[in-house]
Amino acid sequence: MTTARRSWAPIGLLSYPTLMLGVFFLIPFGIMFATSFFERDPIAFYRPAFVFDQYARLATSLFIDHLLFSLYLAVFVSVISIGLAFPFTYLLTRMRLRTQTLWLVFVLSVLSLSEVIVGFSWSMLLSRTAGLSNVLVWLGILEEAVAWAPSFGAVVVGYLYLTLPYTVLILYPPLSRIDPELTEAARTLGASPLRAFFNVVIPSTRTPIIASMILVFVFTLGVFLIPNLLGRPRHWTLSVLITDQAVYQSNPPFAAALAVFLLATSAALILITLWLSRRKRVATT
């Protein structure tokens, strides 16, 4: 009786997350995938059908340009986020425990802000009327106030404000577990602090770096409000176009096709990244 219960225990533990995955992901994705083949009806929004008209529209240059820009922006933000968060988190793990706790509380407090608050706050800070440029004018650095939004730089700043806390929280556990004696040994062998950082610290945290990059990449593709508020129409990502097609253009089938295509593209890139990292790891070992 006890053996039978033990054999059923793993199945019982896995049934709940499997059920949640099916209810909150597989079923909605199946409905969205089926909707992408429906035919648009100007009177009733859409009607059930099995046509490829919505996917054929993806071959236009407009949506290909927005797709390439979305992927470029996601990769760019991921690289910048890792480049800023990694040295900050590494130095944070070398501070006293009390200082680490205060910084982590600050990082968690940033996560409590919604995307709406972040987007409108940065649009105000980067504006001409009540933005930071007025402070620079008061300090004598600028001659007159300028507007830094909407622009590509404003979009990147808004994304980094959202992604940096997540990157820090992912990198903090593995960096805090690195033995300080490893870098001290490298210094004893004649390595400079910078060389010890690149030859010891970074290789030992390769997996968390890849995981954080994938998280930031996926997160950036799904953000809607930041490019909508801080960017121009040419800075709109596919997530903005999906919302525009579903809500303002009353074309749910084409919005569903865009969402399926974006999900498939991001999943393919993530699988390629994991395959390349695993192949590189096998080659080094």
pLDDT in tens, 157-185: 999 999 999 999 889 988 888 877 777 77
Tell me: pLDDT of 3 over 60: no
Identify the pLDDT of residue 6: 55
- Please tell me the predicted confidence (pLDDT) of residue 7: 56
Could you identify the residue written with the tokens 């010890």?
196
Task: Write phi, then psi, for 46 (nearest 5 degrees).
Answer: -160, 160
**Is pLDDT above 70 for 4?**
no
- Looking at 7-11, 224-228, 268-272, which range is the least confident one? 7-11
Measured between alpha carbons, how far is 220 from 223 in angstroms, rounded to an integer?
A: 5
Three-class DSSP category at 45: strand
pLDDT value of position 82: 92
CA distance 275 to 216: 18
pLDDT value of position 181: 72
Q: Which residue has the tokens 């009390």?
A: 98
Residue where the block lists tokens 């929004």: 45
Tokens coding 83 = 């480049």
Average pLDDT value for residue range 43-55: 78
For range 123-142, the mean pLDDT? 83
Q: What is the pLDDT of residues 99-117, one digit of tens each?
A: 888 988 888 888 888 888 8
Flag whether the pTM goes above 0.75.
yes
Q: What tokens appear for 208 in the block? A: 């968390």
Q: Where are the domains of the chain?
A: 61-284
Backbone angles phi, psi at 47, to 5 degrees: -135, 150
**Residue range 203-210: average pLDDT?**
82
User: Percentages helix, strand, coil for the chain, rounded to the nearest 5?
Assistant: 80, 0, 20
Lowest mean pLDDT among 8-22, 37-51, 220-234: 8-22
CB-count burial class (<10 Å; 0-12, 13-18, 19+) for 52:
exposed
The per-residue pLDDT for range 25-45, each reduced to its tens digit, is 788 888 888 888 888 877 767
Predicted pLDDT of residue 78: 92
One-letter amino acid for residue 143 of the chain: E
Burial class (CB in 10 A: 0-12, 13-18, 19+), 5: exposed
Say how far residue 140 (Cα) sits from the centre of its chain: 37
CB burial class (10 A; 0-12, 13-18, 19+) of residue 178? middle
Domain 61-284: top CATH class: mainly alpha
